Chain A
C-alpha cells in the first residue's frame, strides 16, 4: 500500500508508549524535536550544508539555520530526553 515501509523498531515502539502514557495521564498535546545536539552545533557552524534542516520551534517548524541565534540557543539547550 505504501512506499514508506512501516518499521516497528524498538525505538519507535518505546516512543509510542511514551505518548500513550502521557495521554493516559491527561496530557493534551506533544511535539518533538528529534535531532542531536551535535547536529545542531554543526549546523550553526556550517549553515550552508544544513540549509534544509527543519526543527520544531513551538507550534510550528522552521529551517534551523534561518532562526535567530537566541532561538537556536533555546532549542539547543532544551533537555535531550532518553527513552
Chain B
C-alpha cells in the first residue's frame, strides 16, 4: 500500500478544475528575484530625503504600488501580487546592500541561481537596476547604521561567535504580526483616513510631541490612500482583461474582480468573497512595505464566520464554494516570497514565509469551544492545496470536539507538516503571565512559527535573535573562551574551566553565567535594532493595519509604543544539548568519577578522535552517549532541561524593550523555543559537547530531545518535554515529532 510510505503520495487531493489549474500555474514558477520594488523605492528615496522618515516611507511605498507590475492569475477569483511573477521575491535595499552586491552581482559565495539549495532566478535586465540601488544605498542602510551604533561585544556576539544571531533583522524587516483583519474588513480603509484626519485636526501645536504625531497621521493617510489606489489598478486591469476575454464565464468573473476592487478595501466588505479580496490586498501591501516574514492572518474561522453565515443564510454561499474560495485565497498568498542572503538562508532553509493562519480554539467572551464550519473548511483547503503556505495552526483545548481532532489528525497524516497544534490550556496562562487581559488571551492566534499573540493588539515582533545555548555551554567549559575563534568576551565568574571545576554545581554555575552574559548581548542587539528602526524605518502601513485601534488614537507607530501589547520575541536553541551535557559532566566526572574533567576537556578539544589517551577519544564519546538523555522520562536530566530553559526565560523577561513605559502593556523581551532551521548553522560553529555530539554537527531543534536520543517511545518522550515549564515560553514552544505513516493508518 502506497499510503504506508506517505499519505501525500498515496492519496489524491480533491480539487475543482479552477483550483487544480491554479495550483499548476503557481507551482510552475521557479523561485525568482524581482527588482521592481527595490528599484522604485530607491528612485523615490533619491529625490525625497528631506521628508520626515515615516512620511518618506509612506510615499515611497505608494510610489512602488503605483508603478510595480500587476497581474491577475488565470482562473483566479482574486487579485493581488507582491512581485512581477508568482513565487518571485521583491528586494529591500534599505536594509542592506552588501549581500545584494556580493551575491547577486558578484556571485560570492554563490549567485542565487547557482546555490546548492534555495535557488532563485534573476532576469539579466534586472542586474543594472540592482547595481544602481546598491550604488545609492551603500553606506546608508539599516545594517550600515547598526555597525556604527552597536557596541563591539554585541557585534562579535552576532558576527564572530554566533552565540546569538540576528542577521534577519539587520538585512530585512520585522514582519511577525497578525493584522487586524477583523477590524479592517468591518470598517474599511476609509475609516483610517477619516479618523487620522480627525485626530490630526485636533492636534495642539504647543505640545512637544505634536510634530511626530502629525508626521504619523500624514503617513497613515498616505498609506491608506495608497492601498485604495493599488486596488483601483486591479479594477482597471480586470476590466481590460474582461474586454478581451472570449469565455463568458471568465469575463463575468473578471468583472466581479473589477467591481470588488472598486469597493474594497476602501469600504467595509459586504460578503465572504469581498472580505477575502480585502484581506489579500492588505496582506500583500504589508509584504511590499516590509520584507519581514511571519505576517499572519489571525483567527480565520472566527472573523470570517459572520460573512460565511450571512452567505449561507442568504443562499449565496455554499460549503463547497467557501472551500474553493479558501483554496484560491491560500494559493494567492502562496505567491508571496522572500529572498535572504546565503548566510541568513542557512537559518531559513526551504524558502519559508511563515504566513500563519489559525483555526479552532475558544470564544474570547463566552470561553467555550469556537470550532465552526470554517475551521473544517480551512483544514480541507490545506488538505487539497498541499502547498507550504499558509502555515495552518489549530488550537486545541479541553473541550475541543473529538470529531474535529480526528479531522485534524487526518490532515496531519498527509505528512505535509500541517497543521501544527497548540494547547490553549498552556498558551492562555502563558500570555496572562505577561499581562494579557483574560479575553485577549483567549483570543490569541499564532504568528509566524509558534508565537502567540492577539491579532490587532500585539506590536513588537514575535521573532528576534536566535540564542545559541550550546555555544554558551561550550564557552563555559573553556572559561569563557570560544575555542573556534579564540575570542573571550566574558570569563566565568569562578574563573575555572572543565579541567578545574570542583563540583557539578561549579559547571552549572559557569554555564548560567555565560548564558546570562549572552542574553544581555542579545538584549543589546534587539534594542539597538529597534532604536535604529524607530529613527529611520517606522512603518505606517504595519501600524494602521496591525493595530488600528491603538496606533490611531495614540498617534504613534508600533516602534514608538503604538500597540496594546508589546513584547520582543526571540528563539532559544539547544536546550537538549545543554541539559544532556551538564548531566553527562555530573555523572561521568563528579558522581561516578569515570573520567576527569581534564580528560573530558581534551576529548572535546580533539573531537573524540585522540587514540593515544586512556580511555581513547571514541571510548569517551561512547561514555558520553551512554549517559541518559532528555527525552526518555528520566527525571534527573529532564529536571536540568526544565531549570536551564526556565532560567533563560526569566533572564530575558528582565530586559526591557524600547517601548517600555511608552504605552503598551509588557515592554520587555520574552522566550520561545522556535528554531526555523537554525540548529544546523548553530551546530556548524559549536565544537564537540559532553553529550557526545561531534563537533560542527547540528544541535537539537526547539525543545525537542536531541534527534535519535529519545529511544523509549513517544510516551516517554512527551513526558520529558511536558516537564519543561511551558508557561514561561510566552513567545512559543516548539516540539517536533516524527511518525511512520503505517502507524497512523
Contacts and interface: CB of A to CB of B under 8 A. Distances in A.
Contacts of A35: 5-6, 8, 415, 738, 740-741
Given A57-B349, A58-B736, A83-B714, A19 B448 contact: no
Interface string A17-60: 01111110111111111111011000000000010111111111
B622 interface: no
Nearest to A79: B710
A34 B449 contact: no
Interface in B295-328: 319-320, 323
A82 to B, nearest CB: 6
Interface string A54-71: 111111111100111111
A18 B714 contact: yes
B545 interface: no
Contacts of B723: 26
A3 B711 CA distance: 39
B208 interface: no
B204 interface: no
B741 A4 contact: no
B698 A54 contact: no
A27 to B, nearest CB: 5
B737 A81 contact: yes
B-side interface size class: 35 or more
A14 to B, nearest CB: 8
Given A29-B422, A74-B680, A81-B713, A54 B417 contact: yes
Contact of A66 (B351, B423, B448, B719): B351
Contacts of B722: 22, 25-27
Contacts of B448: 59
B406 A16 contact: yes
B736 A33 contact: yes
A6 to B, nearest CB: 5
Interface string B731-745: 011111111111111
Interface string B504-542: 000000000000000000000000000000000000000
B692 interface: no
B330 interface: no
Nearest to A53: B8
B739 A59 contact: no
B386 to A, nearest CB: 7
B641 interface: no
B603 interface: no
A25 B7 CA distance: 29
B161 to A, nearest CB: 20
Contacts of B403: 6
B738 A79 contact: yes
Contacts of B27: 52
Contacts of A23: 396, 423, 425-426
Interface string B335-368: 0000000000010011111100000000000000
Contacts of B668: none
Given A55-B417, A57-B350, A71-B349, A34 B739 contact: yes
B5 A36 contact: yes
A39 B6 contact: yes
B287 interface: no
B467 to A, nearest CB: 15
A27 B426 CA distance: 7
A78 B738 contact: yes
B719 A71 contact: no
B430 A62 contact: no
B711 A79 contact: yes
A3 B118 CA distance: 35
Contacts of A82: 713-714, 740, 743
B707 A78 contact: yes
Interface string B150-185: 000000000000000000000000000000000000
Contacts of B486: none
Given A35-B741, A54-B8, A59-B354, A27 B388 contact: no
A77 B421 contact: no
Contacts of B718: 18, 21-22, 25, 27
B141 interface: no
A54 B407 CA distance: 19
Contact of B412 (A3, A32, A58, A62): A32
Contact of B739 (A8, A26, A69, A83): A83
Contacts of B426: 23, 26-28
B117 A12 contact: no
Determine which residue in B412, B674, B709, B735 has the highest number of CB atoms from chain A within 10 A of its CB, and name it: B412
B578 interface: no
A28 B679 CA distance: 20
Contacts of B674: 58-59
A55 B412 CA distance: 11
B705 interface: yes
Contacts of A20: 405
Contact of A59 (B420, B421, B709): B420
Nearest to B115: A68
A42 B73 CA distance: 34
A30 B415 contact: no
A59 B704 CA distance: 12
A8 B405 CA distance: 10
B737 A31 contact: yes
Contacts of B349: 57, 62, 67-68, 71
A20 B715 CA distance: 11
Contacts of B244: none
A59 B426 CA distance: 18
A78 to B, nearest CB: 5
Contact of A32 (B14, B407, B739): B739
Contact of A74 (B7, B698, B740): B698
Nearest to B716: A81
B4 interface: yes
B162 to A, nearest CB: 16
Interface in B390-440: 391, 396, 402-403, 405-407, 409-410, 412-418, 420-423, 425-427, 430
Contacts of B679: 58, 74
Contact of A39 (B9, B391, B713): B9
Nearest to B319: A1
Contact of A81 (B387, B421, B717): B717
Given A29-B732, A74-B707, 13 more contacts: A2-B319, A6-B410, A12-B410, A12-B413, A14-B743, A19-B409, A31-B734, A32-B420, A33-B739, A60-B354, A63-B388, A79-B738, A81-B717
12 contacts: A6-B403, A18-B715, A19-B405, A36-B742, A59-B391, A59-B448, A60-B417, A61-B416, A61-B418, A66-B117, A79-B705, A82-B740
Interface of B: 4-9, 14, 27, 116-118, 319-320, 323, 346, 349-354, 373, 376, 379-380, 383-384, 386-388, 391, 396, 402-403, 405-407, 409-410, 412-418, 420-423, 425-427, 430, 448-450, 674-677, 679-680, 698, 701-702, 704-705, 707-711, 713-715, 717-719, 721-723, 726-727, 729, 732-745
